[in-house]
Chain A
Amino acid sequence: MQSTNKDWYLASFEAFEKSLNGEMKSSFHGIRKEAIGRFAELGFPTTKNEEWKYTDVSPLTRLRFQPVLQYAGEGVSKKDIERFRLGIQDSHVLVCVNGHFSRELSAIGKIPAGVRLGGLAEEIRSGNQLVEQYLARKAKYENDSFTALSTAFLMDGIFVRVPDGVVVDRPIHVIFISQNQDTEVVVHPRTLVVAGKSSQAAFVESHVSLSSRPYFTNVVTEIVLGENAVVEYDKVQMDSTSAFHISTTHVYQERNSNFASNAITFGGLFVRNNITAVLDGEGSEATLNGLYLATGEQLVDNHTTIDHAKPHCPSHELYKGILAGKSRGVFNGKIFVRKEAQKTDAKQTNKNLVLSDEASIDTKPQLEIFADDVKCTHGATIGQLDDEALFYLRSRGVGLEKARDILIYAFASDVVDKIKVAEMRETLQAMLHDRLEQSRAFNKN
């Protein structure tokens, strides 16, 4: 079984190579070949692999997804895009359909000189030096099957470059749309963000779909922060509830840079998010926050890693989960403190609200500390809605469902409130509400 599924992707790669024609001779193609080679050796992970202990990928590997070899933006309208803007006004909108950048559907406003926002394919073709320097170099494919697959099939995606000293004041919003009417497809949304020295930007990455047929979206995002750069990264995952979503975000930080991510997970049937921040410069700071809501039969697995490689770096982590229906959650928070990384101050919290008897969560901190003068704290909780609070609200006339909603929002609010792109917060609250309603409707059936 295992080998045939692997073979399916290897065969797909051959077809993909043929479709590339002349591009096969480009220098990047060497990396693709290396990556598929690694995938051939690694295969898909099993639950024997410590990183995949709680999440069995066989429901994903059993299906035969078709790669999307060329741009198929037809069937997506500007109106669809409006719907997906998350209420953010005047953002620079970059749209990818099935992993391919669409200039027609994108809407890029006035940007400071030197900023580049656009497709990755043209940058690879033109031999952009930053792309050569960073693409597939930060998110390592050597030991990760899914990153290897993404890299092997890498053709297009998004490239963002903010030059030294430049502040982009409106959010950059990348919308990844999956579109498959007739077949079950696999897409590889890929992004490279390079934020120069003392630059600043807010980057929103959202994942949506226009069909309810199963698809597999295998996301890789690489973000590089130069010295003193400040980047907010909000990932909003709203795939259809029959989708498989696996994503890897790799963040590399130089001295005094500041990175904050907010990973919001609402959609998908099978979701695995990996985020890694490497604090590779003194005084750099990382904040990884997350909110996941799982209902029905959803599985949501969040794996975070903070790699403290240099001294004097604080890191903060707050992940909150709401689990309803028969859903399952996994949280694994790894904190590495390397020998050199003295005066590290790392704080990790994972809190879960379990709304039904059939929902469950596995949560685990994983600290690997090799320095001796560090502060690391972590805590995880699993709880239900507070009956006393619920009664208090109801005793003032608030109906049961509304009272539950209020308490659930309250639980989620300290993550949502930290998002700096303020216009998005209201949209997220509304989405939370909708998802909970759907979940209730689902439970009544």
Chain B
Amino acid sequence: MGVRKEEKGNGMLEIIDLHAEVDGKKILKGINLKVNLGEVHAIMGPNGSGKSTLAQVLAGRESYNVTNGQVLYDGQDLLDMSPDERARAGVFMAFQYPVEIPGVSNTYFLKAGLNAIRKHHGLEELDAMEFLKFVKEKAKFVNMDETLLSRPVNHGFSGGEKKRNEIYQMAVLEPKLAILDETDSGLDIDALRIVAEGINKLRSKNNSIIVVTHYQRILNYVVPDYVHVLLGGRIVRSGGKDLALQLEDKGYDWVKEEVEAVS
């Protein structure tokens, strides 16, 4: 295992000239990004710049049409895999807008997910009792109210509860690559801290995290190794964590101007 990793370097995710459109509208216009194992990357950008599109394309949402480019995940062709294959291989996306699914219990569906992943790795499936014990521990990661575990998926959850539920699922599924799409928006400062601490506990040398956000705030807790600015479907600027502070301070206009000046 270790030897194989050496040969590939420690690249977890490599996006090469990725173009994607939805309903005929071009949204991603040549994304290049490399994320190594153990790194945390932040992607920032104004509304409509294509952040969620990128996240959804990586998770395998079929309504987005990839027109050009390549994505390598752990050396495999990610775009060739179905959404559930990606999840079983260790990709996780926390949704910006988690879906409500009445009639399906949070616990039931997550058990199905976890067991599919375990099976994929040749591990024994957990029965209902084992699973319950396991998730109760995980719920503590994000101070998730236990009553939410058995309720229908996100149904009637508050905005904050939905976001916690996403990180709770991440804690249960233990992905290798997590893409968190605006998990911080809509959270009050206490909830933000709890969620951020949860993310930090999950952060390790053996996984990679992409944090999509509008606000610098979460990055005070989850300190990124790199910050990228996504604008008009391209990554137009990359830097260290200071770039986030700069953006918070001055907005995106100066980046826009710089980009326009160059082109």
Interface residues of A (CB under 8 A from B): 386-389, 391-400, 402-403, 406-407, 409-411, 413-414
Contact = CB atoms under 8 A, between A and B. Distances in A.
A440 B158 CA distance: 37
8 contacts: A389-B101, A396-B87, A397-B112, A397-B114, A397-B116, A402-B116, A407-B101, A410-B104
B116 A392 contact: no
List the 8 closest pairs (A to B, CB-CB), nearest first: A410-B103, A396-B113, A397-B87, A397-B113, A394-B83, A394-B84, A397-B116, A397-B117
B212 interface: no
Contacts of B84: 394-395, 397-400, 403
B102 A393 contact: no
Contacts of B87: 394-398
B206 interface: no
A414 B152 CA distance: 12
Given A397-B113, A402-B116, A411 B103 contact: yes
Interface string B86-100: 111000110100110
B101 A396 contact: no
A396 B120 CA distance: 13
A395 B59 contact: yes
A388 B96 CA distance: 13
A394 B169 CA distance: 13
Interface of B: 59-63, 82-84, 86-88, 92-93, 95, 98-99, 101-104, 108-110, 112-114, 116-117, 120, 152-153, 169, 173
A392 B153 CA distance: 10
Contacts of B169: 396
A398 B104 contact: no
Contact of A396 (B63, B82, B102, B109): B109
Nearest to B114: A397
A393 B87 CA distance: 10
A395 B93 CA distance: 7
A418 to B, nearest CB: 13
A392 B116 CA distance: 15
A413 B88 contact: no
Given A394-B87, A397-B116, A397-B173, A388 B103 contact: no
Contact of B109 (A388, A406, A411): A406
B138 to A, nearest CB: 14
A413 to B, nearest CB: 5
Contacts of A397: 84, 87-88, 112-114, 116-117, 120, 173
Question: Which interface residue of A389, A397, A406 has the most chain B CB atoms within 10 A?
Answer: A397
Nearest to B100: A389
B83 A410 contact: no
Contacts of A395: 59-60, 83-84, 86-87, 92-93, 95
Nearest to B101: A389
Given A387-B63, A398-B116, A400-B84, A410 B95 contact: no
A394 B101 contact: no
A164 B211 CA distance: 69
Contacts of A392: 95, 98-99, 101, 153
Contacts of A403: 84
Contacts of B110: 396
A414 B82 contact: no
A403 B116 CA distance: 11
A411 B59 CA distance: 26
Nearest to B63: A387
Contacts of A396: 87, 92, 109-110, 112-113, 169, 173
B25 to A, nearest CB: 18
Given A389-B104, A410-B104, 17 more contacts: A391-B59, A391-B83, A392-B98, A393-B109, A394-B82, A395-B59, A396-B87, A396-B109, A397-B116, A397-B117, A397-B173, A398-B113, A398-B116, A400-B82, A406-B109, A410-B102, A411-B103
Nearest to B117: A397
Nearest to B104: A410
A414 B101 contact: no
Contacts of A402: 112, 116
Given A395-B87, A399-B84, A388 B112 contact: no
